[in-house]
Chains A and B, each alone.
Chain A
């Protein structure tokens, strides 16, 4: 996987990473929201925080910006521990969008940006606001009350607010919520562009395909615990599929199954795979078999496949397998 290391990231080599969490734990009464979580966001990288609802993603992000106190463990941004004397200064290097965008709904987009600039103690800069509104495609509605915006527009304004102070790190919690497909693509492109502007990114999302395309590395949580971390390839690699789908004429399915059984393979029964189409037979290959071997076996039995497909594992499938859920087809057809 390509990683993006920016000039600013190179310059900050040796500096504390934008985010470092060590043994971070947050307990609400008996409920353990975050359990001994450790991870890092290196400078100039886009890190995705993944997990099902209630996995602790938002809580972890809230701890990082001081909205929630950790029960134990340590979190630091740019080397400043959360709640330490230098934390306030460090926070000014961060832009945040946590949960829903926090907008003053009676104010316009432009005034929301101006208010954020004042809160950060920086000069209100009309050109900067115009640039940000252009970036999130809200220029045409910049004078309208934020309360009149659609959910997607509010989300985009929330992202613009996070970027007001030219942050070195942005923490975005589900930034694609409420966005239409075009909006999601825009956010993905923005996330990919941010490192080149000197901004590291920590983003949580349920849009796994988007995360897969936008992030350099992933941190996967389940029930508050870290269950995997690394690049997308690292994580998917652990769940690499050995399954192949053979497509033949529907009338040849029975003979194909018999042929595969004849060489010691056990095709999955079509009814066990709800996503199987007519004429498709799925088979898991042993480690010492390749797709070529499978094709040879079929040809040897007089069966000429219309199509032979190696089932690839998507991040979504790996994620579902890791978190113990089933995918939308009802088939957890990935194996470690």
Chain B
């Protein structure tokens, strides 16, 4: 089953388009900086990290929604389930294949983007540093966004609805929830940001956090457990 899921990812366009957008997106800042501030090493690094942070989330959301939602859109979910009636296993295979692809896509784009920034920077006399911790923090955020969208696609049985819903949750609902007194600090966004800050190790950022690292992990895990748990339960129980 895992082989079939990996084959689907390899042979479909959406994963490759997502990866291409991410790669082009992380290469572009280096080209821009080379024209605007060619000798500024920090500018290369910051712009690259910023582009990676934003585009990794967007492409991860698109990929996470596509992974299962597209099976419903093209009506192939029943073919998948007629081959593997153990639905949790089928879902697990899909999730595992998705994690493999996402990890490869994020790591590959991060590496390509940094190598490009370093090469362009060094051509202009700027030594661009490797910031693995910041990249890891961004990658984690993207992975959480992908997992959230994957769970939503199992609930909604639609890639489009899952992607739009996930973006609405991240961009609109999460900031609104964060304004709720006392409970506002337990949003998914705050949980992921807090974990990211600790991975990044930025002391100034950590000093501004409203919850601790342990709480952030628990909050993030709880949000994901709800999204994935409800999605998995519906996937297993509903008629196809």
Contact = CB atoms under 8 A, between A and B. Distances in A.
Interface of A: 62, 65-69, 83, 87-88, 91-92, 94, 96, 98-100, 102-107, 111, 114-116, 118-121, 161
A110 to B, nearest CB: 11
Contacts of B13: 106
A102 B71 CA distance: 9
Contact of A118 (B4, B12, B86): B4
Contacts of A99: 75, 78
A66 B4 contact: no
B85 A87 contact: yes
B78 A115 contact: no
Given A115-B7, A119-B1, A66 B76 contact: no
> What are the 3 closest A-B residue pairs judged by CB atoms, nearest first?
A102-B79, A118-B4, A66-B85
Contacts of B240: 62, 67-68
Interface in B1-33: 1, 3-4, 7-8, 11-13
Given A102-B78, A104-B74, A119-B4, 5 more contacts: A88-B85, A99-B75, A104-B76, A107-B11, A121-B3
Contacts of B131: none
Nearest to A147: B74
A111 B13 CA distance: 14
Contacts of B12: 104, 106-107
Contacts of A121: 1, 3
A67 B78 contact: yes
A88 B84 contact: yes
Contact of B75 (A102, A115, A118, A120): A102
Contacts of B84: 88, 91, 119
A118 B7 contact: yes
Contacts of B79: 96, 102, 116, 119, 161
A193 B186 CA distance: 64
A107 B13 CA distance: 10
A100 B4 CA distance: 21
Interface in B70-109: 74-86
A87 B7 CA distance: 25
B76 A103 contact: yes
A115 B85 contact: no
Contact of B11 (A62, A98, A115): A115
30 contacts: A62-B240, A65-B82, A67-B82, A67-B240, A68-B239, A68-B240, A87-B85, A91-B83, A91-B84, A91-B85, A98-B82, A99-B78, A100-B75, A102-B74, A102-B76, A102-B77, A102-B79, A103-B74, A103-B76, A104-B8, A104-B12, A104-B76, A106-B11, A106-B13, A107-B12, A115-B4, A115-B7, A118-B3, A120-B83, A121-B1
A99 B7 CA distance: 25
B81 A66 contact: yes
B11 A88 contact: no
A114 B6 CA distance: 12
Contact of B82 (A66, A105, A106, A118): A66
Contacts of B8: 104, 115
A62 to B, nearest CB: 7
Contacts of B74: 102-105
A66 B84 CA distance: 9
A230 B202 CA distance: 77
A164 to B, nearest CB: 10
B82 A114 contact: no
Interface string B48-81: 0000000000000000000000000011111111
Nearest to B13: A106
Name which of B11, B81, B85 has the most chain A CB atoms within 10 A of its CB: B85
B82 A96 contact: yes
Given A88-B85, A104-B12, A106-B13, A119 B80 contact: yes
Given A100-B75, A102-B76, A104-B76, A67 B83 contact: no
A119 to B, nearest CB: 4
A118 B79 CA distance: 13
Nearest to A89: B85
B233 to A, nearest CB: 14
A69 B11 CA distance: 32
A66 B7 CA distance: 24
Nearest to A83: B85
A107 to B, nearest CB: 6
Q: Which of B75, B80, B82, B86 is most buried by chain A, counting CB atoms within 10 A of its CB?
A: B82
Contacts of B7: 114-115, 118
Contacts of A106: 11-13
A215 to B, nearest CB: 23
A222 B11 CA distance: 43
A111 B239 contact: no
B88 to A, nearest CB: 12
A66 B240 CA distance: 9
A118 B81 CA distance: 14
Given A100-B75, A114-B7, A118-B3, A69 B85 contact: no
Contacts of A96: 79, 82
A33 to B, nearest CB: 10
A83 B86 CA distance: 8
